[in-house]
Structure 1
């Protein structure tokens, strides 16, 4: 889990830098298409982190199932709904 946590945090730090870059681009009145391209990259990065978190959650559900089958099913359904809403 620690390796995944580090991957997620590193990706979020890169995303934070990208957002600062977008702010600078807007301040410098750069071309619309360039700003949109960078915003798309930010969105993709955030989507990737969300996917990593959901995947970790699913993995945890399978590796450490709940004693109560109903509770286990609810956790799996919740993870699946997170993927579908994306």
Structure 2
């Protein structure tokens, strides 16, 4: 799979958010602020996972169709991957 620049930007943004949370902890910020930022990171990670699975699924379905394979199996594997990511 080719990981595009947009996805890499998302992950770098998450990396910055994690550093920001660590700084907030060092500054003894209120727990509500820290939890809110961690929730934002988790949401960003979930979106990144969904994007990766969706793009991969799209390519896998095309490949299976070209090879006369079972696209239902590919979809089931993608769903299982999303379930495991939670």
Give TM-score scaled by structure 2 length. 0.83
Asked if the contact 2:60/2:74 (under 8 Å) is kept, the reply is: yes
Counterpart for residue 44 of structure 1: 43
| Alignment-derived partner of residue 56 in structure 1 | 55
Report if aligned partners of 2:61, 2:74 keep a CA contact under 8 Å in 1.
Answer: no
RMSD: 2.1
> Cα offset for 1:73?
4.4
**Where does the alignment leave 5 or more consecutive residues of structure 1 unmatched?**
none
Aligned pair count? 84
